[in-house]
Amino acid sequence: MTGSKSAVVRNTKNKRIKTLKERDYTLLSQKLGYLFKQPDLLREALTHRSCGFPNNERFEFLGDSVLNCAVSTLLFRHFPSLPEGDLTRLRANFVNQQALHQLASALGIGELILLGEGERKSGGHCRPSILANAVEAIIGAIYLESGFVTVVQIITALYEPMIKQLDPDITGKDPKTQLQEFLQSRRVALPEYSVLSAQGDPHAQVFQVECVIPKFDIRTKGEGTSRRRAEQEAARQAYELAVVKH
């Protein structure tokens, strides 16, 4: 009898979780302005590699390329007089881990990401690199299902309000450059970067880099899918601390 009651409780809980997920998927679709005709594509785009295979790594690879192309086009059209170097730096502000993590938070992806038990217990649903990768994977999945024109419309709707508010004179520099110029203006030695760890398979590594500014007693850690991205994230945190403290 007790076993039957437990089974009923489990079934009820499972139905509630399923309903919650379906509701959240609907909310995600509303925020994206896009409804997947093949829900399995969205599920795969939200599946982290800690769950095994299939997962969202291949979608992420595709979405990264599509996102770079779409954002490049938006910037090219919005800033017709900017040279290539400035456009490249501006783009870096929108396709980096921080920007994608902010998008993921706005879309509520942390509540939907599918993780293995260990990754879930370690707080993977809040990890910026995981959520940023999921955004790229969703973009890749939309591209696969509906093509380039549709996915560009989605990306434009997400990014155009931010691009319209841009001041290219301020945001045209990447975090490492901003930090370097800030320190040089105060005659402080350049920051020291060191790789703390590189985890995962060779084709899907996650790097953790430390940025240290001894004179300001600043020490930050950045995470990214490449050493460069991790350095930029660590530099961004260090720059924000340096501006506040000094």
Residues serving a catalytic function are 64, 136
State how far the Cα of 182 lies from the Cα of 163, in Å rounded to an integer: 24
State how far the Cα of 214 lies from the Cα of 183, in Å rounded to an integer: 12
Strand pairing partners for 220? 211
Neighbour-count burial for 148-175, b at 16+ CB within 10 Å, e otherwise: eeebbebbeebbeeebeebebeebbbbb
Record the tokens describing residue 171, joined without a space: 């945001």
Record the tokens describing residue 8, joined without a space: 């009923």
Q: What is the DSSP string of 167-234?
A: -HHHHSS-HHHHHHHHHHHTT-PPPEEEEEEEES-GGG-EEEEEEEEGGGTEEEEEEESSHHHHHHHH
State how far the Cα of 125 lies from the Cα of 111, in Å rounded to an integer: 7
AA letter at 7: A
Record the tokens describing residue 134, joined without a space: 């999921």
Residue that the structure tokens 């350049």 belong to: 190
